[in-house]
């Protein structure tokens, strides 16, 4: 199952406070920072739940997370881009002005696998502009590097969606895992949760289906030649 930026926008309504416009500003903020990155000629890839919707169903988003390729001496340039967007949308991004503000995270790529993440990003129309989103494999690799509960949930959802090459993720983890192979352990756990969730959903479906069936109705192979529902005498 795949979502779209339109699916995300449909979720950006604060049901507890319909007068709060901040969630709905996320697409505009996204367009602004991606436009600044493109104008600066920087290679980047969007990660997090915004990218998850490309590979699985959309979920509510309150953060824009982007990995950017910059040299070691360009970190200040990256910070300046983020600050420019934050100044433009301060009413929706400054925690002093908005309690449930939108968070923007720009960070430099840190290793060879993240360089691959940037190279393999998928270009598509997102929130009305062309943007580069991380592949399913690199998203899952990133989440297996983190012990965040949100990341564990998103990893299982991505696996359940059936769009990710798990062998490819294992190869990425072998390149970056520590001696304890923590990432591999988190991947196995996410796979287990996804399988259990799928099995549970199928079991519920079959139980509901059986409940809808008439227990007195005969299957076709037991019907008499005249096609009636009365069984032939033994």
pLDDT digits 0-9 by tens, 137-185 = 999 999 998 888 888 888 988 888 888 999 999 999 988 876 568 888 8
77 and 1 part of one domain? yes
Chain-wide mean pLDDT for the chain? 84
151 and 59 part of one domain? no
For residue 132, give the H/E element and its range: strand 129-133
Question: In Å, how far from its chain's centre is CA 55?
Answer: 7
233 assigned to some structural domain: no
27 and 129 part of one domain? yes
List of the chain residues with pLDDT < 70: 1-2, 14-16, 178-180, 198-234
Whole-angstrom distance, CA of residue 156 vs CA of residue 188 = 10
pLDDT of residue 213: 63
Q: What are phi and psi of 109, to 5 degrees?
A: -65, 145
91 and 207 part of one domain? no
Q: Quote the tokens at residue 81.
A: 């881009």
221 assigned to some structural domain: no
Comparing C-alpha atoms, which of 119, 45, 107 is closest to residue 70? 107
pLDDT of residue 84: 97
The sheet carrying 129-133 orders its strands as: 103-108, 63-68, 44-47, 129-133, 122-126
232 assigned to some structural domain: no
Domain end among 110, 134, 158:
134
| Domain interval for residue 34 | 1-134
pLDDT of residue 59: 84
pLDDT of residue 120: 94
126 and 203 part of one domain? no
pLDDT of residue 220: 58
pLDDT of residue 234: 46
150 and 127 part of one domain? no
**Structural domains of the chain, count:** 2
Contact between 37 and 86 (Cβ < 8 Å)? no
């Amino acid at each position: 199952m795949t979502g779209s930026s339109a699916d995300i926008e449909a979720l950006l309504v604060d049901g507890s406070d319909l007068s709060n416009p901040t969630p709905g500003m996320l697409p505009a903020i996204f367009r602004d920072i991606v436009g600044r990155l493109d104008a600066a000629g920087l290679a980047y890839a969007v990660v997090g739940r915004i990218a998850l919707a490309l590979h699985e169903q959309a979920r509510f988003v309150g953060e824009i997370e982007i990995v950017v390729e910059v040299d070691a001496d360009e970190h200040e340039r990256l910070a300046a881009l983020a600050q420019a967007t934050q100044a433009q949308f301060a009413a929706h991004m400054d925690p002093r002005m908005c309690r449930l503000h939108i968070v923007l995270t720009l960070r430099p790529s840190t290793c060879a696998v993240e360089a691959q993440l940037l190279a393999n990003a998928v270009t598509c129309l997102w929130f009305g502009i062309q943007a580069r989103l991380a592949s399913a494999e690199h998203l899952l690799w990133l989440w297996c590097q983190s012990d965040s509960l949100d990341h564990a949930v998103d990893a299982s959802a991505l696996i359940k969606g059936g769009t990710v090459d798990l062998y490819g993720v294992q190869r990425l983890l072998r390149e970056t895992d520590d001696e304890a192979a923590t990432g591999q352990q988190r991947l196995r756990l996410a796979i287990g949760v996804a399988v259990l969730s799928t099995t549970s959903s199928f079991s519920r479906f079959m139980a509901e289906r059986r409940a809808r069936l008439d227990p007195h109705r005969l299957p076709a192979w037991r019907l008499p030649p005249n096609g009636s529902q009365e069984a032939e005498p033994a």
